Structure 1
Amino acid sequence: MATTTGKVYNSIKLGGTATDVSVARISHGLMAMTWTPYPVPDEICFESIKTGVDALPGGVKAFLNTGDFYAYDWGTANLEMLSRFFAKYPEYADKIFLSVKGGVNPTTHKPDGSLEYLRTSVERSIKTLGPLKKIDLFEPARLDGSLGIEKIMQNLVVLLKEGKFDHIGLSECNADTLRKANNVYPVTAAEIEISPFEYGENQKKVIATAKELNISIAAYSPLGHGFLTGQIKSPADLPKGDIRSHLTRFQESHFQNNMSLVHDLQRISSNFKNDNRDGGITTAQLCIAWVASLGPKTIIPLAGSSKKERTVENLMAGDLVPLSEEVMKEVGEAIGRNRITGDRYHGETEEQMGLWQ
C-alpha cells in the first residue's frame, strides 16, 4: 500500500543473473539531468538521487539508469555527474544498482555491437565513472542490425567475463530476439517503452516472454516523456531547447488530441481510493502503478526525474502495486476510447530507428 511517511517499502527481485538483488519497485532514470542545453545543477541532481536512496529500507537498492551518451552533444555528461556524486557521497555506491546504456557511436548516432566498439563504450563508461562505483548492468541502447543477436551477446559475455560489469541487459528488443539472446547467456533486464501511450502487441509479447524466462523489464517513459502527467498544457509550455519539442506527439497537430487520454487519467487518479489514499493520487502515480501492475513480478517502471520531490512521488507509486482489477479496467477502457496520434519519436519508422529488433 502507499505510504505518506516519505518511505517506500515495495521492492522487487531482479531477473537473470541478478535474482539475489532487491531493488525499488520503481527505478530512476537520469537522462533529463544532462540531455538538455541547460544541464541541471549538481546539487539538485544529487538531492534527487540521495532522496530516492534514502526513501528505501535496508537491503533494497535504488535502480538508477544512465548512458554514456546522455548529453546534448552525445557526450558523457551524465556519467560525469554521477562520478562527482559518488566522489561526494561514496557511501551511496553500494546502495545503488547502476544500469548503463552504451554501444551507440556518438558521431553517427548508430548502434555498433562489435566487440571492439562495445569495449570502447564500456571502458569509456568505467573511466568516466571513476573507481568508486562499478557498472552493475550494461546494455546496448539499440541493437546493431548488421549483427545477429547471438554475436552481440557473445561480445557482451566476453566483456562480462573480463569483469567490466556484472549483468547483461538489452534495449528495444522484440520477444524473439530476447529469447535468442537468453539462450546465449541469461539476460537480466530488457528495457522497452511501456505507458498508456505505448501498450501494443510488441509490449505484450515481450512482457510474456520476460515472465516465462524470469527476465526483468525496465519500462521506460511510463509517463510518455512527461506528457501523461498533465503538467504540460500546450507545446508552448516546453522550455526552449527541450528535446521533447521535436517529438511528434508534443507538436500542435497532435497535442490536443492526445490530451483527451490525459483528461481521462486525471479523472481516474483524482477518484482513486484504497486503504491509505482516500485523497486520490497524482496522474503520474496512476500511470507508473498501471505499468508496474501489467507485470507485478516482472516490470520495473523506469521513471525519469531531476527533482527530489518528483523522485519520491514516483517511488511511492510502487506501493500502489498491484492496482485493483477495477482500476486496471478503468485505465484500459480510457486507453481504448482515446486514439493516440503521432509516433514514438520524430516521424521516422521504428525500423529506421532500429526499434523492436
Structure 2
Amino acid sequence: MRPIGLGCMTMSQSYGDADRDESLATLREAIDIGVGMFDTADVYGAADAAFGAPSKGFGHNEELLGETIAGRRDEVVLATKFAVQMGAEGAVRLVGDPAYVTQACEASLRRLGTDHIDLYYCHRQDPSVPIEETVGAMGELVAQGKVRAIGHCELAVDELRRAHATHPLSALQSEYSLWERSVEDSGVVAACRELGITLVPYSPLGRAMLTGRIHRGQEFGATDFRSLLPRFCGEGLDRSIDLVEQLREFAAEKGAAPGQVALAWLLAQPLDVVPIPGTKRASYLRENSAATGIALSIDDVAHLSALFDPAGVPGGRYPKPEDAR
C-alpha cells in the first residue's frame, strides 16, 4: 500500500458541494491504486452546520465509504473517529465518556458495514472526562476485537503521554504541512518519534493552498469554510500565494507539481508519517499518490523548511471566535 492515505471529509462537507457519483468513483479508484488508508469520521457531513452551511447529516461520510468498501473490505485500512457532536444551530459538543465510546463505535461499525475498524480515533478530547477514561474505553474495544488499533487527534505532549501510558496509541492525527508546523514547535513531533507513534497529518496540502491552484483575489462560496480562514482572505491570501509561487518554481525544477513536493517533504521527515490529503476528484487523487516518487535531498528538505519558516506564514489556522459566523 502507498504511504499516502485519503482524507474523505471533502466528499461530505466544508469545501463546497461534492458530486456523489464522482466521490464514489474516486473512492473506488483509491482502492484500485492501493491507497494506504481511508480516513473518515462519524461527524463528517454534519459539521458544516458549525460554519453556517447546510448539513448532509451525521454519519454521511461513513455511509458513503461503507457503500464503497462493500465486498472489498480486506483491501482497505479503515480509520474513523468519534467524540464530536453537533447541537442546535451548529453548536459543537465533545463527548468522551466510556459509555459513549462504545455507543459511537457500534454506530460507526453499522454505517461502515464492517465488523471491525482498523484505526479508531478520539476526534477531540472531551475536557470534562479524564483522557485515561476515554482511552481506556477505546482499549476495551481493541480487546473485544471491534478495533485493531487506536489513535487520538490534536493532543499536546503531556496529553499524548498520558493517553499512550493508558493504552498504546498507534497514531496521532494533527494538522501538519509545510504551511502549518506548530506540532514541531510544541514538541509533538519529537514525542511521536520517541514513543513510536505514527503522525497522520491532515490538511497536508494546506487546504489546497500548497497545490498552487488558489489564485489572488479568489473568493470561496458560502459552503466552503475557507471563506472564514485568515490565510485565505485579503492580505493573508496574497502573502500565502507569494510563498506558494516560490514552491511552484522549486517544483518545476523537479518536474513535479507543487502539492507533490509538499507531500514529499512530509514523507522525508524523520518519523513515521502518513499524510491524508483530501480530495473528491480522481485526477487529484492520482497526482497526490504519485508524490511517493518525488525524491528530495537533505538540502532540498532544509530549503523548503526555510522557505516556509512559520514566522513568515500569515494569519492563524482558524478565525477568531468573534469573526466566525
Q: Scaled by the length of structure 2, what TM-score is found? A: 0.88
Using the TM superposition, give the Cα deviation of residue 238 of structure 1 relative to its aligned residue in structure 2, in angstroms: 2.8
- Aligned residue for 1:345? 318
Using the TM superposition, give the Cα deviation of residue 53 of structure 1 relative to its aligned residue in structure 2, in angstroms: 2.4
* In structure 1, distance between residues paired with 2:37 and 2:84: 22
Using the TM superposition, give the Cα deviation of residue 171 of structure 1 relative to its aligned residue in structure 2, in angstroms: 0.3
* In structure 1, distance between residues paired with 2:304 and 2:186: 16
| 1:291 alignment partner, one of 244, 257, 266 | 266
List aligned pairs for 1:290-309, cutoff 5 A.
Answer: 290-295=265-270, 297-309=271-283
Letter in 2 for 1:311: L
- Aligned residue for 2:286? 312
What do residues 122-172 of structure 1 show as CA deviations (whole Å, max 9, x unaligned)?
2221121124x6311111111112222222211211233233321101000
Using the TM superposition, give the Cα deviation of residue 255 of structure 1 relative to its aligned residue in structure 2, in angstroms: 0.9
| 1:97 alignment partner, one of 77, 82, 97 | 77
Using the TM superposition, give the Cα deviation of residue 259 of structure 1 relative to its aligned residue in structure 2, in angstroms: 1.3
Return closer, same or farther for 1:201/1:95 CA change in 2, 3 Å cut-off. Answer: closer
Q: Is 1:81 the counterpart of 2:54 in the alignment? A: no
Using the TM superposition, give the Cα deviation of residue 333 of structure 1 relative to its aligned residue in structure 2, in angstroms: 2.2
Letter in 1 for 2:259: A
On the 8 A contact 2:121/2:150 being kept in 1, the answer is yes
- Aligned residue for 1:3? none
* In structure 1, distance between residues paired with 2:63 and 2:217: 31
Return closer, same or farther for 1:93/1:146 CA change in 2, 3 Å cut-off. Answer: same
Return closer, same or farther for 1:282/1:155 CA change in 2, 3 Å cut-off. Answer: same
Letter in 2 for 1:339: G
Q: Is 1:29 the counterpart of 2:7 in the alignment? A: yes
* In structure 2, distance between residues paired with 1:54 and 1:203: 38
List aligned pairs for 1:137-286, cutoff 5 A.
Answer: 137-200=119-182, 202=184, 205-234=187-216, 236-272=218-254, 280-286=255-261
Q: Is 1:125 the counterpart of 2:108 in the alignment? A: yes
SS in 2 for 1:178: helix
Using the TM superposition, give the Cα deviation of residue 247 of structure 1 relative to its aligned residue in structure 2, in angstroms: 1.6
On the 8 A contact 2:6/2:37 being kept in 1, the answer is yes
Using the TM superposition, give the Cα deviation of residue 336 of structure 1 relative to its aligned residue in structure 2, in angstroms: 2.8
Using the TM superposition, give the Cα deviation of residue 37 of structure 1 relative to its aligned residue in structure 2, in angstroms: 8.5
SS in 2 for 1:300: coil
What do residues 62-111 of structure 1 show as CA deviations (whole Å, max 9, x unaligned)?
30100101113251110111122134xx1x21111011011112224122
What do residues 241-300 of structure 1 show as CA deviations (whole Å, max 9, x unaligned)?
21211222111241112211111111111112xxxxxxx1000001111112113x5111
* In structure 1, distance between residues paired with 2:213 and 2:81: 28
Higher mean Cα deviation, 282-291 or 207-216? 207-216
What do residues 312-341 of structure 1 show as CA deviations (whole Å, max 9, x unaligned)?
1111112325x2112112212211397122
On the 8 A contact 1:195/1:291 being kept in 2, the answer is yes
On the 8 A contact 1:194/1:203 being kept in 2, the answer is no
* In structure 2, distance between residues paired with 1:33 and 1:201: 27
* In structure 1, distance between residues paired with 2:4 and 2:209: 19
Greater relative contact order structure (CA < 8 Å, 6+ sep): 1
Letter in 1 for 2:188: V
On the 8 A contact 1:195/1:287 being kept in 2, the answer is yes
Greater helix fraction, Structure 1 or Structure 2: 2
* In structure 1, distance between residues paired with 2:261 and 2:11: 23
Letter in 2 for 1:106: M
Return closer, same or farther for 1:211/1:37 CA change in 2, 3 Å cut-off. Answer: closer
Using the TM superposition, give the Cα deviation of residue 36 of structure 1 relative to its aligned residue in structure 2, in angstroms: 4.6
SS in 1 for 2:260: helix
- Aligned residue for 2:36? 62
Using the TM superposition, give the Cα deviation of residue 201 of structure 1 relative to its aligned residue in structure 2, in angstroms: 5.4
What is the identity percentage for the equivalent residue pairs of Structure 1 and Structure 2? 26
SS in 2 for 1:219: strand
RMSD, matched Cα: 2.2
| 1:113 alignment partner, one of 96, 103, 128 | 96
Aligned residues: 310
Letter in 1 for 2:257: T
Structure 2: gaps spanning 5 or more residues? 49-54
On the 8 A contact 1:62/1:95 being kept in 2, the answer is no
Using the TM superposition, give the Cα deviation of residue 28 of structure 1 relative to its aligned residue in structure 2, in angstroms: 0.6
Q: Scaled by the length of structure 1, what TM-score is found? A: 0.81
